[in-house]
Amino acid sequence: MLVLFVCFANTCRSPMAEAVLNHLQSTKQLNWTVDSAGTSDMNAGRSPNPNTLAVLREHGLGSSHVSRQVRVEDFSNFDYILAMDENNLSYLKRIAPEGSRAKVELLGEYRMDELDKIVVDPYGQGIESYRRCYNQISLFCQNFIDQKVQKMSEEGDL
């Protein structure tokens, strides 16, 4: 399975989700490819936000990700492209080539009913906003991986 997370600048939410899903899939001994990108190229070539890295470290995770903008070929290279909010999703659907391989949806579609499906951008806010973002992303990623593993198991692909 190939999964791409997308947020605006690819320095806060999407690299956080990439690190979380990479950790989860490795604990389940899956061989998934996980990456992240931004709808904007304003931070291309930069490391994740220091608060993103700090929150990941609090959970024993890290990231060596270098930000990049989403590319048209991502739609044929990935199985899932998961957006953090409606603006990201609209952009992705607008640039997606017709007949793309990737299923494009909100990461928040894998939420529990009581949670908002939008992962709010913590940029410019304090560390607590990044912690809330991490908690939300962790739940969504856990639900995503559980659903996909169950489906793969039912289909005999596991």
pLDDT in tens, 33-54: 999 999 999 999 999 999 999 9
- State both tokens at 66: 């270098």
* Contacts with 61 (C-beta within 8 Å, 6 or more apart), sequence order: 19, 20, 23
Q: Is 74 a catalytic residue?
A: no
- State both tokens at 76: 């044929």
Total-model pTM: 0.96
Strands (E), the chain: 2-7, 33-38, 80-83, 103-106
Catalytic residue (one of 13, 35, 85, 133): 13
Task: Output the CA–CA distances (angstroms, integers) from residue 24 to 20, 61, 68, 93, in the order listed.
Answer: 6, 11, 23, 27
Q: Is 94 a catalytic residue?
A: no
Q: Is 121 a catalytic residue?
A: yes
* CATH code matching the domain that covers 2-154, chosen among 3.30.565.10, 1.20.1280.290, 3.30.420.10, 3.40.50.2300: 3.40.50.2300
Return the pLDDT at 158.
66
